[in-house]
Structure 1
Amino acid sequence: MSEDRHINFKLMRDRILASQDGKNYWRSLEELGDSPEFREFVQREYPQHAEEWDDPIERRTFLKLMAASLALAGISGCVYQPPEKIVPFVRQPEEAVPGKALFFATAATLAGIATPLLARSNEGRPTKIEGNPDHPNSSSADATDRGSSATDLFAQASVLDLYDPDRSETVTYREEIRTWTTFLGEIRTALDEQRPKQGAGLRFLTETVTSPTLGAQLKSILAEFPQAKWHQYEPANRDYARAGAVMAFGQPVNTIYNFDQAKRILSLDSDFLSGAPGTLRYAREFAARRRVTEGKSEMSRFYVVETTPTTTGASADHRWSVRPSELEDLAHLIATRLGVQFADTNAAATQSTPPSGGRDGSNWIEPLVRDLQQHRGESIVIAGSEAPPAVHALAHAMNNALTNVGKTVAYTDPLEANSVDQSESLRELVQDIDGGHVEMLVILGGNPAYNTPADLKFDQNRLFKTKLRVHLSSHKDETSELCHWHIPEAHYLESWSDTRSFDGTATIVQPLIEPLYGSKTAHEVLAVFSEQYDRKGYDIVRDYWRGAGRQEAGGSRQTAADHQQPAAVPAASPTAEFEAWWRKALHDGFVPNSALPPKTFSIKTESRDNTNAGGRPALPARTSALPAGTPASPAASETHPASGGYEVVFRTDPSIFDGRFANNGWLQELPKPLTKLTWDNAALVSPNTARRLGLENTIGWKGGEILVDNITIQHRGQSVTCPTWIMPGQPDDVITLHLGYGRQRAGRVGNKRGFNAYTIRTSDSPWTAAGVKVDKAPGQFQLAVTQLHFNMEGRDILRTNTLEEYLKEGHGDSKGEHGHEKTHVPAPDETLYGNEHKNEGYAWGMAIDANSCVGCNACIVACQSENNIPIVGKEQVVRSREMHWLRVDTYFQGHEPSNPEGTYFMPVPCMHCENAPCEPVCPVHATVHSAEGINDMVYNRCVGTRYCSNNCPYKVRRFNFLLYQDWDTPTYQLMRNPEVSVRSRGVMEKCTYCIQRIQEAKIGAELENRPVRDGEIVTACQAVCPTEAIVFGDINDPNSRVSKMKAERRNYSLLADLNTRPRTTYLGALRNPNPEIG
């Protein structure tokens, strides 16, 4: 039985906080405490040590095993391979070359916003997703800009969703299989009953719709049935941003930020680097503005105020954590100091003292305001989607006061085909259902039975009041269970459609494969409600762009639904001209010149005379002046108990979003950026809150299990019991709950994972809850956390510096964890072994800029997709057996766990050492050094001794303890990359620098009789990185980008004193703090 030991907060404070002699950089609270128990755990942590053997191996047994391994090495390649059957093309397509992948432009939509993509097809099978570098959102006006191939992790993992064996395969009626024709007949009969009533009993419920074609279809149906209604709802909506725009401008707007022009940035609870529309573009511009090279010493300064730790806050130069109830007061105070006028000036003036905001007390407001004012027209104030409407309105006013509008901030009409307050739209639908006014409910996508607010729940009692219910979804989920008809929804890689990116650019969605099952798109389902009920998605989308889009352009209100540029689509062109235009749009993946044009909006004032002489806007003070129906901030809507109470922050999960990706194993097993939690969610609490509640993290030392205490959260008559996780940087008395877990009908992967936070979420305050009651619950819960796995403990890992010190002294003198001035790299003549690897041709290497990495984790999923890496499940993760070739370590800085001084991310792949410790210990030469400096793995030689893993100081090798690959599911066989071997049980594997991509580029260059060009080889992790933190290339080429990065003063080798001479090196992280803020 394992011995459980706890985090001892008193010991931690005595050992570290009082003496200030603890570690400066740490990955976990256990490491920060550095107790004897933790050191014992570190010695047992690595699975490669085979600690489960009870008895020591005798010398005789060891020699027997060695002899057997050598004898069997020769026949290890004779492994039985599963039989494969192939069918040749009857007629070879012109563009198809056997063994050569094709790429097609398409797009994935999340929360209504398009991510432009290039999808790779191997013999007709989509196998990998890349970003579309030619899309306007992926490139700049600079002619030398080759564009970005970055995507988010959801797009990368979408290939697994396509081949998910749990996807719905057939049309069903009350769980019985039916045909599409039968469904058509019943719907047409029901429509005939609705015609005399003009559709009074017909309701449509969709998620956010930005598709011009889908919007036009819905409006056409509403024109035919004037009494019918179209409602929109999804849990991660932008209602607060919309309400804030209405408050500021009198109408909803779409806000676009130009971070490449901003020298100063203030974020008010905005996670724009990972969880906002335009994330990929914003992250790229943000990183470019902060990239310091030998020829560029200027760096933007970034201030963050947030209510829960985020990856965006981790990149800040100054970060302050506040309670949600304090955020609006703080925004008012900053706006007041910037000169923004309010309707009730006395109310604004009374808020003269800011919240403590963490370590720096209240001395940071004035320096921050001065810094922003000194960079008028070169700054950005951005509010998060979860911030209250008043904060959004204040952000608009502050940008206006700083003259940022038209420079770093731009406004357009809304992206949505029909911009509505989604919570109000859902409330109206619920009222109609409860009133018996809904006879036919058509739900296109989404899962409202699972994710609607607790006070507007789509439960059985409510939905059964409707006579006919239809649900279009990819899985038979919680909502499908309550509906009569279930229609399988086509994956975007099987669909024809269109959508809009964050700036309004119309983006075409085209399929790469015929639907694997009898699935339909939303376009085809809506076509059933028209006279042309048998039209295919391709014809619907194509015909819209041929004619319907131009006809709508004549409307009086130019919105994203009807705004089409006459120059973009040939107005009255002959068939041949339109066909050429259409083919180019499909090839490029977007409609040229279709971005919504910038518009000028004036800040709304109480009266024309309520603007001061300086032209500064007048806004309502606090929430008392909010327009009717506008959601109020939680602080104003609820009264705190006398004790102060607890506040809850709701956020979409970093891995599975709002729950729609719960059945995706890649995302479930992906460690979350800050907690490193997998397969579950947990309530995040601060160390001080945990101490007050009597909570502890417990480690079962024998197996490495992490057991945590449970809490029960009660809010408005609803409660949820959940495990807890102590989170550095979390505001005191604030509990963060991530949405998306607790699914009951997600599929075999996602069922019954974590807890359902939607049960206490309400529609009037969807992102926060105040005055909640929290009690410690009995029992403990096991979490699969990778935070302590593969720990390079006791070594100088991370290097950071401030910009001022770097420019003054040079980053070569920056201090690492132990305060070393400079890590000693042994010279060749200081060792017994010379540097044998002198590569005369190509010499491949990688440089990773820790200053640019934002911890988005997309690189991990991209590597998993490219290299056929399996998932292992929660039980195996608990045993430190996850198979990711690349991990992203998170380091917290400082001696105060409640408020770390900084947070940093470090991607750690295989270092491909020139003096690789793993190579000489392999008895069968399964790991060898190539002529180009790559540490190769020869899988069919490996006999699984794991000596290489034991000898690797970077802990980047992964061993197949069990047969983790699924050989039996037919769809998974279609998903795998044919260029990468699929490993089996007993085989070691690791990062290969995407050797398959290197060979492909070399073969292409050889056919053209030329060398490989710089930038021609892009590894999977490099391609997906939105900030270009990872660079790969030939280090023998002095003009290559990777060579130039390695020549930077910030460049250093990880664990260089071991003389491994890694080909992968790092550039130290920089921060640009305001010297006026202590």
Structure 2
Amino acid sequence: MKDEQQHLAQSDEFVPESTAYDWAALRSKLAAATGRKYWRSLEELADSEGFRAFLEAEFPRQASVLDALGRRQFLQLMGASLGLAGLSACTKQPVEKIYPYVKPPEEVVPGQPLYFATALPLSGFGRGVLVESHMGRPTKVEGNPDHPASLGATDIYAQADILTLYDPDRSQAVRFAGVIRPWSAFVNVAQAELERLKGQQGAGLRILTETVTSPSLAAQIRSLLAELPQARWHAFEPVNRDHVLAGARAAFGEAVEPVCHVEAANVLLCIEADLFGPHPGGVRYAREFARRRRVEEQNGAAMNRLYVVESVPSITGSVADHRLPLRPSECEAFVRALASVLGLPVQMSASMQPHRAWIEALAKDLARNRGRSLIVAGEALGPAVHGLVFAINEALGNLGKTIELVEPIAQSPQPQMESLQALVADMDAGKVDLLLILGGNPVYTAPADLRFAERLQKVRLRVHLSLYEDETSQLCHWHLPEAHSLESWGDVRAYDGTVTIAQPLIAPLYEGKTAFEVLAAFSSKPSRTAYDVVRDYWKSVWGEADFERRWRRALHDGVVEGTQAPAKAVSLRGDFFQSLRPLVASPAGLELVLRPDPTVYDGRYANNGWLQELPKPLTKLTWDNAAHVAPATAARLGLQNGDVVEVVAQDRRVEAPVWIQPGQALDTVVLHWGYGRSHAGRVGSGIGVNAFALSASPAFWGMAGAEVRKTSRRYRLVSTQDHFSLEGRDIVRRGTLEQYRHDPSLAPHGHGAQKHEELPSMYPGFAYNGHAWAMSIDLSACIGCGACTIACVAENNIAVVGKDQVGRGREMHWIRVDRYYEGDLDHPEFIHQPIPCQQCENAPCELVCPVNATVHSAEGLNDMVYNRCVGTKYCSNNCPYKVRRFNFYLYQDWYTESLKLMRNPDVTVRSRGVMEKCTYCVQRINAARIDAKREGRPIRDGEILTACQQVCPTEAIVFGDLNDPNSRVAKLRKLPRTYQLLEELNTRPRTTYLAAVRNPNPELTSGKEHA
């Protein structure tokens, strides 16, 4: 085996010494805690000197002494500030010309956005969206309420696609051997190759795609293969459904795909499956799950229960009622043990005896809910695990109720890893003469043992279509710029088979092409466009008679009626259990676990600054990946956060910094894909380490027998989990369903603490006789996915500041999601809490601003007047919630033309020296006010959706008018679970929270959890 090594990039910056944790003391501290003990990081738990120093630097306890500035000078400067604040709005603006349309489009009204239904793919599966367009410029993505995969919400990737669309680093020209060429030159070459291929029936032609669910693209490829029968189609991308389909074949004798009905399940079990994360149905599944967490309905009788078994803490695991950390290699033994307890002919392994009580309690819960339970396994687990999960679901009567089986959604001709292996073997044998790579980046993402880059260069003619000139493009003769999904026609299937016809919102910015046009270049009609191909395909499906009506209806609705995949009746093979191979004991030593990154995924979003700067849901790391280890593993190996280690697996090695992650399975080291890119773009190149360098085709998702060797170096990792600390104040509320039934408030006084009385104010009150805007956030529903943060960035033109500034606590996000731990280091529970501006009625920030830059509106909003702000930062220092953001530098890019097109024209772009914060999306409030006034009616409840509310997959955020007693927010505010952050300060925030409620199994919890 070739010894391959990747070194972590050296850093010239100072790397502070890490805290040397006293693990025994930390465990004793947690064990001795009375009541609920919440903590955000190991640094906070240890109360280290570094943690205290960071807090002091971020928010000093006392004002600096004015040593070099006398009282007279201070007053002079203050007077100048007041004067300049009034003059700043009088700056002469540059002359800008407006040219009228010769023939204006009827539907385009200046200042009024238009919305178009389309779809955005991720790993081939479509998510239905509505895209907001201002004067022909797409600026914001929202979920399509009529689409089954989105139900009106989206995820972080759909939101960030706007930035990818306008990314100036995207490929902008056709290139041959690095030289810019016209598209016609490529078409001429393609036509010449077609004539040659016809003479040999396509021998030597290979087409490599990512996961294809597009009916029209699959039909076009098959048409080409019919004309050239010896050509071959291969498909590969890192996150695929190979193991799921292989498990179905083992269990039922044919490949079928599960479609879950989460809302119908009383008990859910996810095994190494992040069902609410970047899963094909993740947005819908998260919403269905959250709908069953509303404890006010039937006094919690309808509340579901979630069990999660996983090696790496995930979004889904963080909201579980019970979570069991296991190594991936132990998951098959776990599933066999569960099957055995449920009475299936499978033996329990001795390795599961320590978890027997957990498994038996789970089995009883599943058995009590036959036909109303659901078990899901993740893509990383092997076919045997998936086959057993299918068998258990059938035994529990779940098939056809909480889970349906449908024909595979993807059109791939064979399992993707097998397909890639076959292609590499043909390239190595010299059988591939022409390779068309339509999307993807296999030089970067292919398993390291296949040596794809080396064997690719044996192909005579290599063509690559991609958004960026990436690692694969560097090794291809022809590079073709790919049109973004928002620039192109197409069609795509959702997780349940529903088809959306994708329509472009804007003409290609950089003359991009689609796979349709590349394939058309190798046909008798090389001038066919993507529009022609897609339209002709659906005309062949629907016929001529009613085509135009159905076409327009599909474009308008964003779904093609009647395309949902029908359920398929299957039965378990009679010899399934006999066909199971003997269980191989889980090997001792460290286990390497490879997973897609929670933000940049498999590397396709590496150049997206919004996602690079988004804190990862559990670690809160930004701008890097790391080697994650459990606290006990770190203690055994003598590791601290930031230590650089060498991770070795099968003679391949990478160097990575360590991050200690509570709740991770023991003896695992986790690395995330997506980093270590060499040709990602100006933002993503040279960041982090390439975890694909450790992958192998037989064990793509990880392997046993890994080694971790500590080096003498350290690396600076930037995590936001200690930023904006509220220093131990009690701001998180959580309880169990039994506790809720005993005391529905779940507030501090319900846990033995004293309830604070409202303090009198020295200032006169204000009567909000008109609207009184308010927000309610349900902590039971929040899964910490971060979609609200990215939606806010897109809506409000929030800047990216970079790793160095984030490390100084200067990230600009208007809404952050704090993650708290509760419990011990090895088995903590997680809770997420979104924190926007609280819009206080008695706002401390307003009292200290010397220039009235922060003021109160008649409707209760804490407004910012940007052109008054002189940057004293007094407001930020006086904000108890730490939600104000200051532009220390000119973070915004005011010069790149494409980024100018991206920005929301209804929101000011802030400059250096200006404070900013959440506005409750005041631009949306004003737009609704104008519409209501024009139509002569009041604003309807639910008409105004803030960006964070609209994107939220779980409907955790509700916004509305408190003065409307029938509004949802007014009703939620009256619930016993409602509480205000730092209520004792008498700031009277308009944003309130609903305490989180979990539903643990009484057999698995101590008595105090149900007191």
TM range (shorter): over 0.9
**How far off is 1:63 after superposition?**
2.9
Q: Provide the residue aligned with 2:771 in structure 1.
A: 842
- 1:813–1:493: structure 2 CA closer, same or farther, 3 Å change rule? closer
How far apart, CA to CA, are the structure 2 residues paired with 1:503 and 1:161?
27
What do residues 876-911 of structure 1 show as CA deviations (whole Å, max 9, x unaligned)?
A: 1111111000100000002x22221x1000000000
Give the conservation status (yes or no) of the 8 Å contact 2:15–2:715: no
1:544 pairs, out of 537, 544, 551, with 537
1:335 pairs, out of 339, 346, 351, with 339
- 1:83–1:32: structure 2 CA closer, same or farther, 3 Å change rule? farther
Q: Provide the residue aligned with 2:4 in structure 1.
A: none
Matched, 1:380 2:374: yes
Matched, 1:687 2:631: yes
- 1:57–1:792: structure 2 CA closer, same or farther, 3 Å change rule? farther
1:503 pairs, out of 496, 503, 506, with 496
**How far off is 1:581 after superposition?**
1.4
Give the conservation status (yes or no) of the 8 Å contact 1:993–1:1019: yes
2:706 pairs, out of 772, 778, 787, with 772
Task: Report sequence identity in percent.
Answer: 54
Give the conservation status (yes or no) of the 8 Å contact 1:269–1:305: yes
Give the conservation status (yes or no) of the 8 Å contact 2:675–2:688: yes
Q: Provide the residue aligned with 1:280 in structure 2.
A: 283
Give the conservation status (yes or no) of the 8 Å contact 1:121–1:128: yes
Matched, 1:314 2:318: yes
Matched, 1:176 2:179: yes
Helix, strand or coil at the partner of 1:778: strand
What do residues 766-786 of structure 1 show as CA deviations (whole Å, max 9, x unaligned)?
A: 112100111112211111211
- 1:136–1:9: structure 2 CA closer, same or farther, 3 Å change rule? same
Matched, 1:42 2:35: no
Q: Provide the residue aligned with 2:653 in structure 1.
A: 719
Helix, strand or coil at the partner of 1:380: strand
Letter in 1 for 2:215: P
- 1:1017–1:48: structure 2 CA closer, same or farther, 3 Å change rule? farther
Letter in 1 for 2:322: H
Helix, strand or coil at the partner of 1:74: helix
What do residues 6-35 of structure 1 show as CA deviations (whole Å, max 9, x unaligned)?
A: 142247437614633697001101111224
- 1:908–1:7: structure 2 CA closer, same or farther, 3 Å change rule? farther
Give the conservation status (yes or no) of the 8 Å contact 1:248–1:619: no
1:1069 pairs, out of 996, 1002, 1011, with 996
Give the conservation status (yes or no) of the 8 Å contact 1:739–1:758: yes
Equivalent pairs, count: 991
What do residues 206-237 of structure 1 show as CA deviations (whole Å, max 9, x unaligned)?
A: 00000000000000011000000000000111
**How far off is 1:59 after superposition?**
4.0
How far apart, CA to CA, are the structure 2 residues paired with 1:3 and 1:685?
20
**How far off is 1:694 after superposition?**
1.4
RMSD, aligned α-carbons? 1.9
**How far off is 1:457 after superposition?**
2.8
**How far off is 1:1005 after superposition?**
0.3
Matched, 1:808 2:742: yes
1:442-841 map, 5 Å? 442-459=436-453, 461-547=454-540, 550=541, 569=542, 571-573=543-545, 577-606=546-575, 618=577, 620-622=579-581, 640=587, 644-697=588-641, 708-813=642-747, 820-821=752-753, 823-826=755-758, 830-834=760-764, 836-841=765-770
Q: Provide the residue aligned with 1:420 in structure 2.
A: 414
How far apart, CA to CA, are the structure 1 residues paired with 2:348 and 2:37?
40
1:13 pairs, out of 18, 26, 29, with 26
Q: Provide the residue aligned with 2:209 in structure 1.
A: 206
What do residues 945-993 of structure 1 show as CA deviations (whole Å, max 9, x unaligned)?
A: 1110000000000000000010110001100000000100000000000
**How far off is 1:296 after superposition?**
4.5
Give the conservation status (yes or no) of the 8 Å contact 2:272–2:328: no
Give the conservation status (yes or no) of the 8 Å contact 1:233–1:422: yes
How far apart, CA to CA, are the structure 1 residues paired with 2:304 and 2:596?
28
1:960-975 map, 5 Å? 960-975=887-902
Matched, 1:70 2:82: yes
- With normalisation by structure 1, the TM-score equals 0.90
Q: Provide the residue aligned with 2:786 in structure 1.
A: 857
Helix, strand or coil at the partner of 1:889: strand
- 1:294–1:247: structure 2 CA closer, same or farther, 3 Å change rule? closer
What do residues 460-504 of structure 1 show as CA deviations (whole Å, max 9, x unaligned)?
A: x31121110000001100000000001100001110000000100
**How far off is 1:177 after superposition?**
0.7
Q: Provide the residue aligned with 2:9 in structure 1.
A: none
How far apart, CA to CA, are the structure 1 residues paired with 2:644 and 2:600?
22
Letter in 2 for 1:190: E
- 1:822–1:95: structure 2 CA closer, same or farther, 3 Å change rule? farther
Helix, strand or coil at the partner of 2:654: strand
Q: Provide the residue aligned with 1:247 in structure 2.
A: 250
Matched, 1:161 2:164: yes
1:94 pairs, out of 102, 106, 115, with 106
Letter in 1 for 2:204: G
Give the conservation status (yes or no) of the 8 Å contact 1:233–1:426: yes
- 1:205–1:3: structure 2 CA closer, same or farther, 3 Å change rule? closer
Matched, 1:893 2:822: yes
Letter in 2 for 1:926: A
Helix, strand or coil at the partner of 1:256: strand
Give the conservation status (yes or no) of the 8 Å contact 2:733–2:747: no
Q: Provide the residue aligned with 1:1045 in structure 2.
A: 972
Letter in 1 for 2:986: N
Matched, 1:939 2:873: no
- 1:952–1:56: structure 2 CA closer, same or farther, 3 Å change rule? farther
How far apart, CA to CA, are the structure 2 residues paired with 1:93 and 1:1019?
29
Give the conservation status (yes or no) of the 8 Å contact 1:29–1:897: no
Question: In terms of mean alpha carbon deviation, does 933-942 or 68-77 score higher?
Answer: 68-77
Give the conservation status (yes or no) of the 8 Å contact 2:679–2:685: yes
Q: Provide the residue aligned with 1:233 in structure 2.
A: 236
Return 5+ residue gaps in structure 1 as ranges.
139-147, 342-347, 551-568, 607-616, 625-634, 698-707
1:1034 pairs, out of 941, 961, 983, with 961
1:292 pairs, out of 287, 290, 295, with 295
Question: In terms of mean alpha carbon deviation, does 297-306 or 982-991 score higher?
Answer: 297-306
Helix, strand or coil at the partner of 1:919: helix
Give the conservation status (yes or no) of the 8 Å contact 1:9–1:691: no
Give the conservation status (yes or no) of the 8 Å contact 2:30–2:37: no
Give the conservation status (yes or no) of the 8 Å contact 1:806–1:814: no
**How far off is 1:45 after superposition?**
2.7
How far apart, CA to CA, are the structure 2 residues paired with 1:439 and 1:953?
66
- 1:1018–1:980: structure 2 CA closer, same or farther, 3 Å change rule? same
**How far off is 1:863 after superposition?**
0.2
How far apart, CA to CA, are the structure 2 residues paired with 1:810 and 1:953?
27
Matched, 1:326 2:334: no
- 1:471–1:80: structure 2 CA closer, same or farther, 3 Å change rule? farther
Give the conservation status (yes or no) of the 8 Å contact 1:171–1:180: yes
Q: Provide the residue aligned with 1:304 in structure 2.
A: 308
1:386-397 map, 5 Å? 386-397=380-391
